[in-house]
Structure 1
């Protein structure tokens, strides 16, 4: 039986000769699920691209990748696209990069379907059926209006699912998924995992690149043919059945300390509308004490990112936002960490320079002092100096996420607003970032507003704000509420 995908001796090297992926061998049969895991920077995303016959600019590939009887390595871009059409799909770690900013999502899906089902009126029904099936598999069938929106009009979770729909619309035999549940609420995550498991049961081979072992466990339980490959430093360090390598889920611990300081962030009647007047947020009130931690939860599309951007002054809003009793005028008072950390960095400048820059602009540090502080903070977060000296495309998603958090902290804010700041992190680097955020609260009195579906982030909060359809459904104080206790208005998955 011909394998759906086979790689042998697959190696990726950076322009300077650094080995990013080192001699990986793997075989995927139809319906197989391969979970690729490992620490941030281990080479998971690089391996995912290499399995598509692609690599980052300036890098090179060696070895072999075969889809059916077709060798992918060495093909020119046009031939590579033809070889993969309808056979191999890819969901990147940052879905925003694959959504066309100037086109509505529905016509894009139709065009992708045309590559397999044909163009023109005669094939319209086949294309429509393929689009409907892709939206259903991605969990978007209950939200038909999204197909009329542009990518930037979707929430982070909706972008993730729309990118997944684009991946599935051609009906590929193999799908490479890089962190497919990043930024999704628990209900939607469950739905996507269920649908991926169903996809595997119909014969599609899946490669799941993830640090999220809980998602990997659930997908592994739903697909008995699943296996695990563990990467570290680009090399395969372990491989075997999912049940043996993933193990049980660890317990989530709640911190004992709670803030007792005065209010630092006070928000009254916060509202946000689109240019057409459609309400995105309505009458949101919240208060966060100095050193406090507010977790913002809710289903995808509830308005969480809109709230975060409004608090940081990045989105026009109505109502009142006070920091230390005054309107927000100091640029350093409220710092915001974007959900998509890759788009938050300039492509042409080293990451270390960009992390250090706020300390120069907003705190009066000299460039040398700022660079030293940036290196120290990045080191505590597990980002080594060699990686930080590269441009953004030379870092993994998890490294960029920690760098984005470090940049915001170096500005010396009174309030830090962070959107899914642990979404791309493995367990150890999540622990390092949580420890640094806890230190900022305890020693510097920073008030945290963290938008997250990560239980470790939510249970650490001293209050939880649940948004549903742009309104505050509940506000809970006391020991962090469980993320799954949040009320939701989400259509059931069937």
Structure 2
């Protein structure tokens, strides 16, 4: 049974053509996947099912959902209001935009359940977020917020579920659990539209595949139309220089007086020209560690040192200290001002922290963005007109323009396809060669192992194992490390989801 049909969809913004002639179907009990590079039109095409579009965008073609015409030759119809959140539920790539920061999760879910006759307990179970109802969105890690947003969508009891990069920010263990849960939802009759650059996720779930490129359908059919996964270049190991950034007995809590401790006695050191990798399950404390090092999390104890000297919290750091330690965080959309073009915001870093003239700073910003695959015409738009992957690379470019000595990267490739990831790794390889110290926080143990010289494994805020990546991936000692390695090695397209993985709830971040 066809739940949604898109025929010859066209999306334009002025003279720019964003989507041209895209067609696909969403069928009950099946998963349709839209794949393609960042900016290929996946999100624009998917949002047409809800009759939603960006500022200045016009939709044409024909979109039918549950027998209702949502888009016709004249644009979006009044029927779109009838399907949003009822027939079709959408989980965005950046979950922060879907969660109310001032309300507890349980309050929001219960209101949605009342409106749509939903089941809060079932939605929470399917999204793998037990114990979430009494907490606020800021008390979750990025990966946990992703699953809370999924629970919010499922509470509406939709017939069609649109998932925009649902594996973003998830560790390999949780990602395998997500595969099983989504397969169960499809088996129960839900129609799923999956937007993803994660080809392993697509191979595990999809019945139909539509490959997009520059807003057009390149290929469509079964899993055989998926491109092969290329070997990504690694940043490689390096000869480390002098110690740059260090943490000693670093502990952190979410609330005053040491309540809700999320980091416990962490010690680390990163040297010039080296890369320290940090891995762990979603909610293990990775992002809190990054925020402490960047000076953004003030409820911490212990010592931070830069070049052997005390490093205070951000509000007490000098301009030079701010320049030397830069942080690229996981959910980047909220870090951009919607009222200003992206290229100007990227250039502002070089102006404020290095004293460059506006013209020189802008030229440097455009050059770095181009190296990362973000064209000048794209970077000149406001943030809402860029895809998640384009904004992720713009956030990296913004930090790089400070010429930092230490660059902290928190899940900076989660929204990127293989080409985008390769461009990022090429740039970071150059930075390492110049002596920049990198801290790479990630959920993909294989990618972290490829770029890092040393790896820390966090579990419940503690370092449970550390060492060279080759040792950790071939001879893991801690149980969590063994589970992460086992989950990362499951890449066979025909492999079924792993059902024996421990599904205990993760700690708060």
Q: With structure 1 as the length reference, what TM-score do the two structures score? A: 0.91
Partner residue, 1:395 = 386
Deviations 1:404-439 (A, max 9, x none): 001101111111111100000000110000110110
Partner residue, 1:83 = 83
| 1:241 and 2:222 correspond | yes
Partner residue, 1:472 = 463
How far apart are residue 80 of structure 1 and its match? 3.0
Partner residue, 2:47 = 49
For residues 433 and 484 of structure 1, do their structure 2 counterparts lie closer, same or farther at Cα, with a shift above 3 Å needed? farther
Pick the aligned partner of 1:304 from 274, 282, 286.
286
2:211 touches 2:226 (CA, 8 Å); kept in 1?
no
SS at match of 1:63: strand
Partner residue, 1:223 = none
1:10 touches 1:24 (CA, 8 Å); kept in 2?
yes
1:359 touches 1:370 (CA, 8 Å); kept in 2?
yes
Q: Hey, what's the Cα distance between the residues in 1 that align with 2:202 and 2:171?
A: 16
| 1:198 and 2:184 correspond | yes
| 1:366 and 2:357 correspond | yes
Deviations 1:167-207 (A, max 9, x none): 11122111111000100111111111111111111111111
Deviations 1:94-123 (A, max 9, x none): 101010111100111111111222xxxxxx
For residues 39 and 249 of structure 1, do their structure 2 counterparts lie closer, same or farther at Cα, with a shift above 3 Å needed? closer
| 1:451 and 2:441 correspond | yes
SS at match of 1:348: coil
Q: Hey, what's the Cα distance between the residues in 2 that align with 1:20 and 1:334?
A: 37
Q: Hey, what's the Cα distance between the residues in 2 that align with 1:227 and 1:409?
A: 39
Pick the aligned partner of 1:158 from 123, 126, 144.
144
Q: Hey, what's the Cα distance between the residues in 2 that align with 1:470 and 1:379?
A: 38
SS at match of 2:33: strand
Q: Hey, what's the Cα distance between the residues in 2 that align with 1:197 and 1:484?
A: 32
Deviations 1:251-288 (A, max 9, x none): 56666542321111111011111224221111100011
| 1:268 and 2:251 correspond | no
Q: Hey, what's the Cα distance between the residues in 2 that align with 1:383 and 1:309?
A: 27
Partner residue, 1:342 = 333
How far apart are residue 491 of structure 1 and its match? 3.6
Partner residue, 1:120 = none
Q: Hey, what's the Cα distance between the residues in 2 that align with 1:271 and 1:483?
A: 30
For residues 262 and 390 of structure 1, do their structure 2 counterparts lie closer, same or farther at Cα, with a shift above 3 Å needed? same
Q: Hey, what's the Cα distance between the residues in 2 that align with 1:147 and 1:492?
A: 18
Pick the aligned partner of 1:228 from 206, 209, 224.
209
Q: Hey, what's the Cα distance between the residues in 2 that align with 1:378 and 1:211?
A: 21
Deviations 1:308-327 (A, max 9, x none): 00000000121111111122
1:459 touches 1:480 (CA, 8 Å); kept in 2?
no
2:116 touches 2:155 (CA, 8 Å); kept in 1?
no
| 1:132 and 2:121 correspond | yes
For residues 453 and 190 of structure 1, do their structure 2 counterparts lie closer, same or farther at Cα, with a shift above 3 Å needed? same
| 1:172 and 2:158 correspond | yes
1:231 touches 1:238 (CA, 8 Å); kept in 2?
yes
Q: Hey, what's the Cα distance between the residues in 2 that align with 1:161 and 1:458?
A: 26
Q: CA RMSD in A?
A: 2.1
2:35 touches 2:210 (CA, 8 Å); kept in 1?
yes
For residues 391 and 179 of structure 1, do their structure 2 counterparts lie closer, same or farther at Cα, with a shift above 3 Å needed? same
Partner residue, 2:11 = 12
Partner residue, 1:279 = 261
SS at match of 1:148: coil
Partner residue, 1:38 = 36
Deviations 1:208-242 (A, max 9, x none): 1111112112223xxxxx11101111110111101
How far apart are residue 51 of structure 1 and its match? 2.0
Partner residue, 2:135 = 149
Partner residue, 2:96 = 96
Q: Hey, what's the Cα distance between the residues in 1 that align with 2:235 and 2:400?
A: 21
Deviations 1:341-373 (A, max 9, x none): 111111111111111111111111111111111
For residues 54 and 152 of structure 1, do their structure 2 counterparts lie closer, same or farther at Cα, with a shift above 3 Å needed? same
Partner residue, 2:488 = none
2:243 touches 2:269 (CA, 8 Å); kept in 1?
yes
For residues 272 and 256 of structure 1, do their structure 2 counterparts lie closer, same or farther at Cα, with a shift above 3 Å needed? closer
Deviations 1:24-45 (A, max 9, x none): 1222221121111111111111
Partner residue, 2:489 = none
Partner residue, 1:121 = none
| 1:292 and 2:282 correspond | no
Segments of 5+ residues of structure 1 without an aligned counterpart are 118-126, 221-225
Partner residue, 2:22 = 24
1:345 touches 1:351 (CA, 8 Å); kept in 2?
yes
SS at match of 2:54: coil
| 1:314 and 2:303 correspond | no
1:267 touches 1:320 (CA, 8 Å); kept in 2?
yes
How far apart are residue 85 of structure 1 and its match? 4.1
Q: With structure 2 as the length reference, what TM-score do the two structures score? A: 0.88
Partner residue, 2:496 = none
